[in-house]
A and B are shown apart, each in its own frame.
Chain A
Amino acid sequence: MAFLEWLEYSALADWVATSTWGYPIMLTAHSIGLAIIVGILLVLNLRLLGLFSEIAIVSLSSLLKLAWSGFILNLVSGLCLFSSQATYFATHIAFLIKITAIILALVNAAFIQNLIKTQGDYWDAGGAVPGLTKGLAMVSLLLWVTAIIAGRLIAYID
Protein backbone atom coordinates (compact mmCIF):
# COMPACT_ATOMS: atom_id res chain seq x y z
CA MET A 1 0.00 0.00 0.00
CA ALA A 2 2.86 2.34 0.84
CA PHE A 3 4.34 1.74 -2.60
CA LEU A 4 1.01 2.59 -4.23
CA GLU A 5 0.82 5.82 -2.27
CA TRP A 6 4.40 6.68 -3.21
CA LEU A 7 3.46 6.04 -6.84
CA GLU A 8 0.40 8.25 -6.60
CA TYR A 9 2.47 11.13 -5.23
CA SER A 10 5.15 10.85 -7.91
CA ALA A 11 5.63 13.73 -10.33
CA LEU A 12 4.40 11.64 -13.27
CA ALA A 13 1.25 10.49 -11.51
CA ASP A 14 0.58 14.02 -10.35
CA TRP A 15 0.91 15.33 -13.88
CA VAL A 16 -1.44 12.69 -15.27
CA ALA A 17 -3.99 13.30 -12.53
CA THR A 18 -4.00 17.08 -12.32
CA SER A 19 -2.85 18.57 -15.62
CA THR A 20 -5.40 19.45 -18.28
CA TRP A 21 -3.99 17.13 -20.93
CA GLY A 22 -2.18 14.42 -18.97
CA TYR A 23 -5.10 12.06 -18.58
CA PRO A 24 -6.63 12.61 -22.04
CA ILE A 25 -3.24 12.05 -23.71
CA MET A 26 -2.72 8.79 -21.82
CA LEU A 27 -6.28 7.64 -22.51
CA THR A 28 -5.85 8.40 -26.21
CA ALA A 29 -2.56 6.50 -26.36
CA HIS A 30 -4.33 3.65 -24.56
CA SER A 31 -7.10 3.57 -27.19
CA ILE A 32 -4.57 3.53 -30.02
CA GLY A 33 -2.67 0.64 -28.44
CA LEU A 34 -5.95 -1.20 -27.83
CA ALA A 35 -6.97 -0.85 -31.46
CA ILE A 36 -3.60 -2.20 -32.59
CA ILE A 37 -3.23 -5.21 -30.30
CA VAL A 38 -6.87 -6.31 -30.11
CA GLY A 39 -7.47 -5.47 -33.78
CA ILE A 40 -4.56 -7.58 -34.99
CA LEU A 41 -5.19 -10.47 -32.60
CA LEU A 42 -8.85 -10.41 -33.58
CA VAL A 43 -7.94 -10.97 -37.24
CA LEU A 44 -5.42 -13.67 -36.32
CA ASN A 45 -7.85 -15.48 -34.00
CA LEU A 46 -10.69 -15.34 -36.53
CA ARG A 47 -8.29 -16.78 -39.12
CA LEU A 48 -7.35 -19.65 -36.77
CA LEU A 49 -11.07 -20.28 -36.27
CA GLY A 50 -11.41 -20.76 -40.02
CA LEU A 51 -12.48 -17.38 -41.43
CA PHE A 52 -10.57 -15.70 -44.29
CA SER A 53 -8.98 -19.06 -45.11
CA GLU A 54 -7.32 -17.64 -48.23
CA ILE A 55 -4.98 -15.62 -46.01
CA ALA A 56 -1.93 -17.60 -44.94
CA ILE A 57 -1.64 -17.87 -41.16
CA VAL A 58 2.12 -17.45 -41.31
CA SER A 59 1.75 -14.17 -43.20
CA LEU A 60 -0.57 -12.82 -40.51
CA SER A 61 1.88 -13.79 -37.79
CA SER A 62 4.32 -11.22 -39.17
CA LEU A 63 1.86 -8.65 -37.79
CA LEU A 64 2.53 -9.89 -34.27
CA LYS A 65 5.49 -7.54 -33.86
CA LEU A 66 3.16 -4.61 -34.49
CA ALA A 67 0.62 -6.12 -32.11
CA TRP A 68 3.23 -6.38 -29.35
CA SER A 69 4.22 -2.75 -29.88
CA GLY A 70 0.56 -1.87 -29.39
CA PHE A 71 0.72 -3.78 -26.14
CA ILE A 72 3.86 -1.93 -25.01
CA LEU A 73 2.10 1.35 -25.74
CA ASN A 74 -0.76 0.22 -23.51
CA LEU A 75 1.55 -1.06 -20.81
CA VAL A 76 3.26 2.35 -20.60
CA SER A 77 0.07 4.43 -20.92
CA GLY A 78 -1.67 2.00 -18.57
CA LEU A 79 1.02 2.41 -15.91
CA CYS A 80 0.71 6.19 -16.22
CA LEU A 81 -3.07 6.02 -15.87
CA PHE A 82 -2.80 3.55 -13.00
CA SER A 83 -0.26 5.62 -11.11
CA SER A 84 -2.54 8.67 -11.09
CA GLN A 85 -4.96 6.83 -8.76
CA ALA A 86 -2.93 3.80 -7.75
CA THR A 87 -4.53 3.17 -4.36
CA TYR A 88 -8.02 3.42 -5.87
CA PHE A 89 -7.44 1.20 -8.90
CA ALA A 90 -5.51 -1.44 -6.97
CA THR A 91 -8.67 -2.55 -5.18
CA HIS A 92 -11.15 -1.76 -7.95
CA ILE A 93 -12.91 -4.95 -9.05
CA ALA A 94 -13.28 -3.92 -12.70
CA PHE A 95 -9.61 -3.00 -12.92
CA LEU A 96 -8.53 -6.27 -11.30
CA ILE A 97 -10.70 -8.29 -13.69
CA LYS A 98 -9.21 -6.36 -16.60
CA ILE A 99 -5.61 -7.04 -15.56
CA THR A 100 -6.35 -10.71 -14.90
CA ALA A 101 -7.93 -11.06 -18.33
CA ILE A 102 -4.93 -9.36 -19.95
CA ILE A 103 -2.36 -11.52 -18.19
CA LEU A 104 -4.26 -14.66 -19.20
CA ALA A 105 -4.64 -13.29 -22.75
CA LEU A 106 -0.88 -12.67 -22.98
CA VAL A 107 -0.05 -16.19 -21.85
CA ASN A 108 -2.60 -17.49 -24.33
CA ALA A 109 -1.14 -15.35 -27.12
CA ALA A 110 2.35 -16.66 -26.39
CA PHE A 111 1.04 -20.22 -26.72
CA ILE A 112 -0.67 -19.38 -30.01
CA GLN A 113 2.41 -17.60 -31.33
CA ASN A 114 4.49 -20.70 -30.59
CA LEU A 115 1.97 -23.03 -32.22
CA ILE A 116 2.03 -20.90 -35.36
CA LYS A 117 5.83 -21.06 -35.39
CA THR A 118 5.83 -24.86 -35.31
CA GLN A 119 2.62 -25.68 -37.20
CA GLY A 120 1.86 -22.59 -39.28
CA ASP A 121 3.38 -23.81 -42.54
CA TYR A 122 1.60 -27.16 -42.17
CA TRP A 123 -1.72 -25.41 -41.65
CA ASP A 124 -1.17 -23.14 -44.64
CA ALA A 125 -0.32 -26.16 -46.79
CA GLY A 126 -3.77 -27.57 -46.07
CA GLY A 127 -3.35 -29.26 -42.70
CA ALA A 128 -6.29 -28.90 -40.34
CA VAL A 129 -6.00 -26.48 -37.44
CA PRO A 130 -6.48 -28.69 -34.37
CA GLY A 131 -9.41 -28.20 -32.04
CA LEU A 132 -7.12 -27.21 -29.18
CA THR A 133 -5.69 -24.32 -31.22
CA LYS A 134 -9.17 -23.18 -32.19
CA GLY A 135 -10.09 -23.38 -28.52
CA LEU A 136 -7.15 -21.13 -27.64
CA ALA A 137 -8.18 -18.68 -30.36
CA MET A 138 -11.73 -18.58 -28.99
CA VAL A 139 -10.46 -18.08 -25.43
CA SER A 140 -8.20 -15.29 -26.69
CA LEU A 141 -11.15 -13.48 -28.23
CA LEU A 142 -13.18 -13.84 -25.04
CA LEU A 143 -10.32 -12.63 -22.84
CA TRP A 144 -9.62 -9.49 -24.87
CA VAL A 145 -13.32 -8.62 -25.07
CA THR A 146 -13.48 -9.14 -21.29
CA ALA A 147 -10.55 -6.74 -20.92
CA ILE A 148 -12.34 -4.14 -23.04
CA ILE A 149 -15.60 -4.54 -21.11
CA ALA A 150 -13.90 -4.43 -17.71
CA GLY A 151 -11.80 -1.45 -18.78
CA ARG A 152 -14.87 0.45 -19.84
CA LEU A 153 -16.67 -0.37 -16.60
CA ILE A 154 -13.89 1.08 -14.42
CA ALA A 155 -15.45 4.53 -14.76
CA TYR A 156 -18.95 3.28 -14.01
CA ILE A 157 -18.54 1.01 -11.02
CA ASP A 158 -17.10 1.95 -7.68
Chain B
Amino acid sequence: MIQALVDWAITTPMNGWVLSWNWTWVILEILHFVGLTLLLGGLLVIDLRFMGFLKQIPPMVTHKLLAIVFLGFTINLVSGILFFFGDPGRYAINIGFQIKFGLIILAGLNVLWFYFKVVRTMNTWADVDSPPASAKFIASTSLVLWFAVLICGRLIPYVGTG
Protein backbone atom coordinates (compact mmCIF):
# COMPACT_ATOMS: atom_id res chain seq x y z
CA MET B 1 0.00 0.00 0.00
CA ILE B 2 2.88 2.30 0.85
CA GLN B 3 4.49 1.37 -2.46
CA ALA B 4 1.30 2.29 -4.30
CA LEU B 5 1.29 5.68 -2.57
CA VAL B 6 4.93 6.26 -3.47
CA ASP B 7 4.42 5.15 -7.07
CA TRP B 8 1.53 7.54 -7.46
CA ALA B 9 3.22 10.46 -5.68
CA ILE B 10 6.19 10.33 -8.02
CA THR B 11 3.91 10.88 -11.01
CA THR B 12 2.20 13.98 -9.63
CA PRO B 13 2.83 17.56 -10.84
CA MET B 14 3.89 18.42 -7.28
CA ASN B 15 6.79 16.02 -7.57
CA GLY B 16 7.86 17.62 -10.83
CA TRP B 17 7.53 21.13 -9.42
CA VAL B 18 9.58 20.47 -6.30
CA LEU B 19 12.35 18.86 -8.32
CA SER B 20 12.32 21.43 -11.12
CA TRP B 21 14.59 23.98 -9.46
CA ASN B 22 17.72 23.40 -7.40
CA TRP B 23 16.78 25.90 -4.73
CA THR B 24 13.20 24.80 -4.09
CA TRP B 25 14.18 22.28 -1.43
CA VAL B 26 16.33 24.74 0.54
CA ILE B 27 13.59 27.37 0.43
CA LEU B 28 11.07 24.80 1.67
CA GLU B 29 13.45 23.89 4.50
CA ILE B 30 13.81 27.52 5.52
CA LEU B 31 10.03 27.93 5.49
CA HIS B 32 9.71 24.74 7.54
CA PHE B 33 12.06 26.13 10.21
CA VAL B 34 10.29 29.49 10.31
CA GLY B 35 6.95 27.68 10.56
CA LEU B 36 8.13 25.62 13.50
CA THR B 37 9.28 28.70 15.41
CA LEU B 38 5.85 30.27 14.93
CA LEU B 39 4.09 27.08 16.03
CA LEU B 40 6.30 26.39 19.05
CA GLY B 41 6.69 30.04 20.04
CA GLY B 42 2.94 30.49 20.24
CA LEU B 43 2.39 27.14 21.93
CA LEU B 44 5.08 27.78 24.54
CA VAL B 45 3.13 30.80 25.79
CA ILE B 46 -0.30 29.13 25.63
CA ASP B 47 0.75 25.79 27.11
CA LEU B 48 2.97 27.27 29.82
CA ARG B 49 0.03 29.43 30.90
CA PHE B 50 -2.26 26.42 31.12
CA MET B 51 0.42 24.59 33.04
CA GLY B 52 0.18 27.31 35.68
CA PHE B 53 3.09 29.58 34.74
CA LEU B 54 2.96 33.20 33.49
CA LYS B 55 0.10 33.92 35.88
CA GLN B 56 0.05 37.57 34.85
CA ILE B 57 -1.60 36.59 31.57
CA PRO B 58 -5.31 35.74 31.69
CA PRO B 59 -5.51 32.17 30.28
CA MET B 60 -7.97 32.85 27.47
CA VAL B 61 -5.97 35.89 26.32
CA THR B 62 -3.15 33.51 25.34
CA HIS B 63 -5.51 32.09 22.75
CA LYS B 64 -4.92 35.19 20.65
CA LEU B 65 -1.61 33.50 19.85
CA LEU B 66 -3.41 30.63 18.14
CA ALA B 67 -3.26 32.74 14.98
CA ILE B 68 0.50 32.29 14.69
CA VAL B 69 0.30 28.69 15.88
CA PHE B 70 -2.04 27.92 12.98
CA LEU B 71 0.05 30.03 10.60
CA GLY B 72 3.15 28.06 11.57
CA PHE B 73 1.30 24.77 11.31
CA THR B 74 -0.08 25.65 7.88
CA ILE B 75 3.34 26.71 6.55
CA ASN B 76 4.76 23.42 7.77
CA LEU B 77 1.87 21.34 6.51
CA VAL B 78 2.28 22.78 3.00
CA SER B 79 6.09 22.58 2.98
CA GLY B 80 5.87 19.14 4.56
CA ILE B 81 3.50 17.84 1.90
CA LEU B 82 5.81 19.24 -0.77
CA PHE B 83 8.80 17.50 0.86
CA PHE B 84 6.91 14.22 0.82
CA PHE B 85 5.83 14.56 -2.78
CA GLY B 86 9.33 15.64 -3.76
CA ASP B 87 10.89 12.43 -2.45
CA PRO B 88 8.11 10.02 -1.49
CA GLY B 89 10.22 6.90 -1.63
CA ARG B 90 12.57 8.27 0.96
CA TYR B 91 9.99 9.52 3.45
CA ALA B 92 7.42 6.73 3.19
CA ILE B 93 9.82 4.13 4.55
CA ASN B 94 11.69 6.39 7.02
CA ILE B 95 10.94 5.47 10.63
CA GLY B 96 11.64 9.03 11.78
CA PHE B 97 9.04 10.39 9.38
CA GLN B 98 6.51 7.70 10.26
CA ILE B 99 6.80 8.40 13.99
CA LYS B 100 6.70 12.15 13.35
CA PHE B 101 3.51 11.75 11.35
CA GLY B 102 1.92 9.69 14.12
CA LEU B 103 2.92 12.26 16.73
CA ILE B 104 1.33 15.05 14.68
CA ILE B 105 -1.94 13.08 14.63
CA LEU B 106 -1.68 12.65 18.40
CA ALA B 107 -0.99 16.37 18.82
CA GLY B 108 -4.11 17.12 16.79
CA LEU B 109 -6.18 14.82 19.00
CA ASN B 110 -4.65 16.52 22.04
CA VAL B 111 -5.88 19.86 20.69
CA LEU B 112 -9.43 18.49 20.46
CA TRP B 113 -9.13 17.07 23.96
CA PHE B 114 -7.86 20.46 25.16
CA TYR B 115 -10.83 22.24 23.65
CA PHE B 116 -13.48 19.91 25.02
CA LYS B 117 -11.90 19.08 28.37
CA VAL B 118 -10.23 22.36 29.28
CA VAL B 119 -11.58 25.36 27.40
CA ARG B 120 -15.24 24.39 27.66
CA THR B 121 -14.99 23.82 31.40
CA MET B 122 -12.88 26.83 32.35
CA ASN B 123 -15.80 28.44 34.14
CA THR B 124 -15.67 25.59 36.68
CA TRP B 125 -12.11 26.32 37.76
CA ALA B 126 -11.97 27.01 41.50
CA ASP B 127 -9.41 29.74 40.91
CA VAL B 128 -9.31 31.43 37.51
CA ASP B 129 -5.53 31.75 37.75
CA SER B 130 -4.81 28.15 38.72
CA PRO B 131 -5.58 25.54 36.08
CA PRO B 132 -6.75 22.11 37.29
CA ALA B 133 -4.52 19.07 36.95
CA SER B 134 -6.25 17.97 33.75
CA ALA B 135 -5.45 21.28 32.06
CA LYS B 136 -1.84 21.10 33.18
CA PHE B 137 -1.55 17.55 31.87
CA ILE B 138 -3.05 18.30 28.47
CA ALA B 139 -0.98 21.48 28.07
CA SER B 140 2.28 19.77 28.99
CA THR B 141 1.41 16.87 26.68
CA SER B 142 1.03 19.41 23.89
CA LEU B 143 4.57 20.73 24.39
CA VAL B 144 6.04 17.24 24.75
CA LEU B 145 4.33 16.06 21.56
CA TRP B 146 5.37 19.03 19.45
CA PHE B 147 8.98 18.97 20.63
CA ALA B 148 8.97 15.22 19.90
CA VAL B 149 7.72 16.07 16.40
CA LEU B 150 10.66 18.47 16.03
CA ILE B 151 13.15 15.86 17.24
CA CYS B 152 11.81 13.15 14.92
CA GLY B 153 11.89 15.54 11.99
CA ARG B 154 15.47 16.54 12.71
CA LEU B 155 16.51 12.89 12.88
CA ILE B 156 14.91 11.84 9.58
CA PRO B 157 18.23 11.93 7.67
CA TYR B 158 19.95 9.92 10.36
CA VAL B 159 17.61 7.01 11.09
CA GLY B 160 16.50 4.11 8.99
CA THR B 161 17.71 4.44 5.47
CA GLY B 162 18.09 8.26 5.78
Residues of A within 8 A of B (CB): 21, 23-24, 27-28, 31-32, 34-36, 38-43, 46, 52, 54-56, 58-60, 62-63, 66, 145, 148-149, 152-153, 156
Contact = CB atoms under 8 A, between A and B. Distances in A.
B68 A35 contact: no
B115 to A, nearest CB: 20
The 5 closest A-B pairs by CB, nearest first: A39-B41, A59-B56, A24-B158, A35-B40, A38-B37
A156 B158 CA distance: 18
B54 A59 contact: yes
B41 A40 contact: yes
B37 A34 contact: yes
Contacts of B37: 34-35, 38-39, 42, 148
Contacts of A62: 54, 56
Contacts of A40: 41, 44-45
Interface of B: 26, 29-30, 33-34, 36-42, 44-45, 48, 54, 56-57, 61-62, 64-65, 68, 147, 150-151, 154-155, 158
B136 to A, nearest CB: 17
B68 A63 contact: no
Contacts of A23: 158
Nearest to A43: B41
Contact of B151 (A28, A43, A46): A28
A142 to B, nearest CB: 12
B30 A42 contact: no
B45 A63 contact: yes
16 contacts: A21-B158, A31-B150, A35-B150, A38-B37, A39-B41, A39-B42, A40-B45, A42-B38, A43-B44, A43-B68, A52-B65, A54-B64, A55-B45, A62-B56, A63-B54, A148-B30
B107 to A, nearest CB: 14
A55 to B, nearest CB: 6
A39 B64 contact: no
A28 B156 CA distance: 11
B61 A54 contact: yes
Nearest to B151: A28
A152 B26 contact: yes
Nearest to A21: B158
Nearest to B60: A54
A152 to B, nearest CB: 5
Given A31-B150, A36-B44, A39-B41, A56 B33 contact: no
